[in-house]
Structure 1
Amino acid sequence: MKKLALFIAALLFSTFFYDQSIGLNLFLFSILTVVILFINNQTYFKNRKTQIYSAAYLITGLTIFFHSSTLSIIANVVSFFTLIGHLSETKSSIYINWLNGLYTTIAGFFHRNFAISETKSNEDDIEKKEPIDYLHWAKIILIPAVILITFIALYKEGNPVFSNIIEKIDFSFVNIQWLLVAGLGYYLFNNIYAPIEVEPATELDLKTENSLQKTSAFSLPKLKQENQLGVILISLLNALIVLYLITDIAFLTSDMEIRASLFSAQVHSGINALIASIVIAIMILLYVFRGNLNFYEQNKTLKRLAYTWIILNILLVISIAFKNSQYIYYFGLTYKRIGVLVYLILATIGLVTTLLKISSIKNNWYLFRVNTQAAFIILVMSSAINWDYHITNYNFKYAKSMDFKYLLNLSNNNTFILNEQLNTKALDEDDVAQIKSKYHKYIYQLRTNNWQELLYDNFKLNKK
C-alpha cells in the first residue's frame, strides 16, 4: 500500500511540476504532501500542534495560488520543513523541526536504509535484514538488455520484414525528463513519508528545559560585585535612553516643513543604528542575567532598572515606528519600510520575552524557542498578504510623492490595480505606455497558463 501511494504521488509530482511555473500546482503538492504524511503518521495528526502546522502549510500553499510571490514561496517551504520535522519528534522546538525537516527531505531514505544502529542490546532478538545484492540486480537488468538489443540489431540486418516491424515501434511518447522528475518526486516522498530526527540535536533539545538553574559556582561576594556593576551600567543606559527620547520627541514635534525635508536622511541614517541598539540592549540584559545573579536576593534594584530599560526600549521602538510611518506618509510604501515595521514587531516581542525571562528566571533557550516560534507565525501571516497590491494601492491613494518606477518593477500581483489607474489618475504618456505593456504581457501569460500554473487572477480575468 505504501509503495503504491508513493508511486502515485511521484507521478502526480511530475504532472504538477514538469515544465510548469509555480501556481495551483504548489497548493496541490501541499495537499498531496499532507495526505502522504497522514497515511503513515495517522496517530500524530490527532495532536493539536500537528493540525496547526498542517493548516499553516496548506494556507501558505493556497496563498501562492492567490498571489504568487517570493515571500509566500519561502513561507511554504519553511512550513513544509516545520511540519515534517514536527512529525519526527512532536515535542521538539521549532528550530529543531526545521533541522529535522531539512535532514529528512534530503537524506531520509539513506538514513533509514544505511544508518548503523548503535544500540543492539540482544542480537539474538533482532531479526537480521539481508543486504540487498545490488550487483545481482544490475546483472539481471543490464545483461539481458544488452544481449537483447544486440540480437535485435543482428536480426534487423538478416530479415527486412523484421527490420520494418522494429522501425515502426515508436518510443517518442516516452519523455525521459518527465520520468526523471517523477523519479525525483518518488525520492522526495520516500524520504518524508516517515520523518526522522537528527538524534544528537533533538535529544539535547528535549533534555534542555526553559528554567534557569542555580549552579555550584554560586558565590555571594562575586554576585555582589556583578550586581553593583549591573546597577551602575543599566542606570547609565537608562539615563542615556531617557535623554535620547527627550531629544527625539523635540525633533518629532519640530516644524512640519523641516521634518518633511529631513525625514529621508533621518530615517536612512538613524533607524539602522537604533535597531542595532535594541539588539545590543537585549544582549546586555542576557549577559547580566545569564546565571546565578538571578538567584541573588539583593538583585531587586537591578531587576527594576532592567524592567525600566526594557520599557524605555519599547518606547524607542514606538518612536522608530512613528518615524517610519511618517516616512511612508510622505514617500509611500516600499518593501524596506514594511520590513522595518515587521522587524519592530519582532524587536518588541524580543523585549517582552526578555522581560519575562528575567522575571520568571528563564534561560536563553526559552528566548530562542519563543522568538523563533513568533518569527514563524509572522512569516506565515505576512505571506498571506498581497503586498504588491497594497503598496500600489496605498501609494496612489495616500502618498504625498512616490516612485512610479518602483511600482512598475513590482511583480505581476499589482498589474490589475495599475491598469485601473489609467482611468483614475493623470499619468504621462510614458507611464501609460509602460502600464499597458505590463498589463498585456501579464494577460498573455495568464491566457497561456496550463492548469498546473493557474492563479486566482485567471478567474478574475475570465469574469472580466
Structure 2
Amino acid sequence: MKQLAIIITSLLFSILFYDRSIGLNLSIFSLITIAFLVFYNPIKFKNKTILLHTFAYVLTAIFVFINHSYLSVIANCAAFFTLVGTVSETSSSIYVQWFNGIYTTIAGIIQRNFDKNEDTQKVNWKKDIDLAHWAKLIGIPLVFVIVFILLYKNGNPIFNDLISQINFDFINIQWVLFTVLGYYLFNNISKPIQVEPATSLDLKTENELYKSDHFSEEKLKKEKQLGTTLLGLLNLLLVFYIITDVMSLSSIETTKASELSNHVHSGINTLIASIIIAIGIILYFFRGNLNFYAENRTLKNIAFSWIILNIILIILITIKNQIYITSFGLTYKRIGVHIYILLTFIGLVTTFLKVLKIKNLAFLFRRNTQIAFVVLIVCSMINWDATITKYNLTKAKAYDVDYLIKLTDRNAVILYNLKDNIVISQENKNRIETKYNNYMLHLSQRDWQEFNYEIVANLEKLDKTKD
C-alpha cells in the first residue's frame, strides 16, 4: 500500500513538473508532499511544532501562486526542507532541521538501507512487493507475446500490416526518467532520517551558560578591567562618530543621487564593521565565567551602552536610506539595505539578551536562524517588482524608467496601467507596451500546471490576446 502511494505521487510529480515552468504545480506539489508525509508519519503530525512548519510550508506555496517570484520559490524550498527535517526530529534547532531535510531529500533511502540501527524503519521490499513474482508475472508473458507476434507477422500479411502500424513514439524516455526521479524523491522523504552525530549533539546542547569549575577571581578581575577599558573607549569613539553623522545628515544634498548613494553605502560599510566588531568583542568577554563574576555590573552596563549606540547608528543609516528612496525611488539594493539593517538590529537585540540572561552561542545561532527563516517567508509574501514600480511612479520624486522596464514581467501590468499617468518618452511607452503584450502572450500559452494569480486576475485580457 505504501509503495503504491510512492508510485502514485511519483506519477503526479511528472504530470506537474515535466516540461513545465513553476506555477500552480509547486503549490499542488506542496499539498501532495504534506499529505504524503502525514500518510507515512501520522503520529508525528500531532506535534505542534510540525503543524506550525506545515502551516509555513502551505503559506509559502500560496505565495508562489500569488507572486510567482524567485524569492517565493526559494522560501517554499526552504520550508520544504524545514518540514522534512522537523519530521525527522521536532526538538532540534532549525539549522539542524535544514541539514536533516536536505540530506533526507538527497540520500534518505540510501541511508536507511545502510543503517544498522534496529529502530530505524527500513524499506522492506520483500514484504511490501514481491519483486520476483512481479518480474515473472510481467516479464515471462511479455517475452512469449513478443516471440509469437514475430512468428505471426510472417504468417499473415493483414496481421503484419496491423502490427506495423503500432507506434511506440508515445513512450517518452525523459518522462519515464523524470518519474523515476519523483519516485526516488518521495521514497527518500517517506521516513525522514536524522544525521548523526549532529542531531544528538544539538539536542544535548542547551541555551544556558554555566559556571565552570576553574573560577579564578584574579584572572576575571583583570579581564573585566580590560573589557571595561576597551568598551569604554569604543563607546566614546562611537558617540563622537554618531554626533558627526547627525551633523552630516542635515547637510545631505537630496538632489544629488551620487552624494546620497555615497552616504548610504559608506554608512553601511561602517555599520557592517561596527556590528561585527561589537558582537565579537561582547561575545569574547561574556563567553564564560565573567558572566558570574560578582563585580561585572560596570562591564555589563558598558556593553549594553555599546549595543544601544550601535542601534542608534542603525537608525541613522535607516534614515539615510529612506531619504535616498524618497528622492530617487525603490531598487532591490535599497530594499536589501533595509532588510540588512533589520537583521543587524535583530542580531544586536539577541546579543543583548544573551548577555542579560547569560545565554551561550547556541542560543544566538538558534534564535537568529529562526528569525532569518521568518524574515525570508515574510519577504516572499511581497511582489517586489510590482511594489517597486508602483512606489516609484506614484510617490518617488525621481525614478529611472529604464530600470523599471528591465525588471521581470511581474511588473508588466502595473507599468502598462500607469504609463499614461507619467511623463516619459514615446519610445519608453512603446517598450512598455511591447513588454506588456509579450507578457500577456506568454501567460495565454501556459498550461494549467503553470497557472498563477496573474493569469486568474487577467482572464479577460488573456481572452482578447487569444482572439
Question: In the superposition, relative to structure 1, how do residues 350 and 81 fare at CA in structure 2: closer, same or farther (>3 Å)?
Answer: same
Give 1:256 shift: 4.7
Question: In the superposition, relative to structure 1, how do residues 369 and 255 fare at CA in structure 2: closer, same or farther (>3 Å)?
Answer: closer
Q: Which residue of 1 aligns with 2:113?
A: 113
Q: Is the 8 A contact 1:415 1:442 kept in 2?
A: yes
Distance of 1:32 and 1:258 partners within structure 2: 53
Letter in 2 for 1:73: V
Q: Which residue of 1 aligns with 2:32?
A: 32
Q: Does 1:413 align with 2:410?
A: yes
RMSD, matched Cα: 2.6
Query: In structure 2, which of residues 338, 341, 344 is the aligned counterpart of residue 344 of structure 1?
Result: 341
Give 1:50 shift: 1.3
Which moved further from structure 2: 211-220 or 109-118?
A: 109-118
C-alpha deviations, 1:211-233, integer Å up to 9, x for none?
A: 01122332222111111111111
Distance of 2:67 and 2:252 partners within structure 1: 42
Q: Is the 8 A contact 1:93 1:369 kept in 2?
A: yes
Distance of 2:409 and 2:330 partners within structure 1: 17
Query: In structure 1, which of residues 222, 226, 229 is the aligned counterpart of residue 223 of structure 2?
Result: 226
Q: Does 1:459 align with 2:467?
A: no
Distance of 1:456 and 1:114 partners within structure 2: 45
Unaligned 5+ runs, structure 1: 121-127
Distance of 1:343 and 1:129 partners within structure 2: 50
Q: Which residue of 2 aligns with 1:46?
A: 46
Q: Which residue of 2 aligns with 1:314?
A: 311
Give 1:176 shift: 2.3
Give 1:258 shift: 7.8
Q: Which residue of 2 aligns with 1:78?
A: 78
Question: In the superposition, relative to structure 1, how do residues 22 and 147 fare at CA in structure 2: closer, same or farther (>3 Å)?
Answer: same
C-alpha deviations, 1:367-391, integer Å up to 9, x for none?
A: 0000000000000011011111110
Give 1:436 shift: 0.7
Question: In the superposition, relative to structure 1, how do residues 343 and 362 fare at CA in structure 2: closer, same or farther (>3 Å)?
Answer: same
C-alpha deviations, 1:138-177, integer Å up to 9, x for none?
A: 9968898778767755664566455334323332222222
Q: Which residue of 2 aligns with 1:93?
A: 93
**Partner secondary structure for residue 458 of structure 2:** helix
Q: Is the 8 A contact 1:252 1:259 kept in 2?
A: no
**Correspondence list, 1:152-171, <5 A:** 156=153, 160-171=157-168
**Partner secondary structure for residue 197 of structure 2:** helix
C-alpha deviations, 1:404-441, integer Å up to 9, x for none?
A: 22211211111111001222112201111110111011
Q: Which residue of 2 aligns with 1:124?
A: none
Q: What's the TM-score, normalizing by structure 1?
A: 0.92
Q: Does 1:15 align with 2:43?
A: no
**Correspondence list, 1:132-171, <5 A:** 156=153, 160-171=157-168
Distance of 1:149 and 1:115 partners within structure 2: 42
Letter in 1 for 2:381: A
Q: Is the 8 A contact 2:253 2:259 kept in 1?
A: no
C-alpha deviations, 1:6-41, integer Å up to 9, x for none?
A: 221111111111111111110000111111011122
Query: In structure 2, which of residues 386, 394, 407 is the aligned counterpart of residue 397 of structure 1?
Result: 394
Query: In structure 2, which of residues 375, 379, 403 is the aligned counterpart of residue 378 of structure 1?
Result: 375
**Partner secondary structure for residue 374 of structure 2:** helix
Which moved further from structure 2: 354-363 or 179-188?
A: 179-188
Q: Which residue of 2 aligns with 1:57?
A: 57
Give 1:43 shift: 1.9
Q: Which residue of 2 aligns with 1:123?
A: none
Distance of 2:10 and 2:119 partners within structure 1: 34
Letter in 1 for 2:53: Y
Query: In structure 1, which of residues 261, 269, 279 is the aligned counterpart of residue 276 of structure 2?
Result: 279
Q: Which residue of 1 aligns with 2:184?
A: 187
Q: Is the 8 A contact 2:239 2:309 kept in 1?
A: yes
**Partner secondary structure for residue 392 of structure 1:** helix
Q: Does 1:304 align with 2:301?
A: yes
Distance of 2:440 and 2:257 partners within structure 1: 39
Q: How many residues align?
A: 457
Distance of 1:10 and 1:80 partners within structure 2: 17
Query: In structure 2, which of residues 245, 250, 270 is the aligned counterpart of residue 248 of structure 1?
Result: 245
Give 1:276 shift: 2.7
Q: Is the 8 A contact 2:104 2:193 kept in 1?
A: yes
Identity %: 52
Q: Does 1:175 align with 2:166?
A: no
Q: Does 1:449 align with 2:467?
A: no
Distance of 1:5 and 1:232 partners within structure 2: 66
Give 1:308 shift: 0.5
Distance of 1:406 and 1:129 partners within structure 2: 57
Q: Is the 8 A contact 1:389 1:417 kept in 2?
A: yes
Query: In structure 1, which of residues 296, 300, 324 is the aligned counterpart of residue 321 of structure 2?
Result: 324
Distance of 2:434 and 2:103 partners within structure 1: 44
Distance of 2:418 and 2:255 partners within structure 1: 32
Give 1:115 shift: 2.3
**Partner secondary structure for residue 427 of structure 1:** coil
Query: In structure 1, which of residues 231, 235, 242 is the aligned counterpart of residue 232 of structure 2?
Result: 235
Query: In structure 2, which of residues 350, 355, 366 is the aligned counterpart of residue 353 of structure 1?
Result: 350
Q: Which residue of 2 aligns with 1:435?
A: 432
Q: Which residue of 1 aligns with 2:464?
A: none
Distance of 1:130 and 1:422 partners within structure 2: 66
Q: Is the 8 A contact 1:331 1:402 kept in 2?
A: yes
Which moved further from structure 2: 364-373 or 412-421?
A: 412-421
Give 1:354 shift: 0.5
Give 1:248 shift: 0.6
**Partner secondary structure for residue 170 of structure 2:** coil
Q: Is the 8 A contact 1:419 1:436 kept in 2?
A: yes
Give 1:116 shift: 3.1
Letter in 1 for 2:75: A
Q: Which residue of 1 aligns with 2:103?
A: 103
C-alpha deviations, 1:295-327, integer Å up to 9, x for none?
A: 111111100000000011111111111111111
Unaligned 5+ runs, structure 2: 462-467
Question: In the superposition, relative to structure 1, how do residues 397 and 147 fare at CA in structure 2: closer, same or farther (>3 Å)?
Answer: same
Letter in 1 for 2:278: A
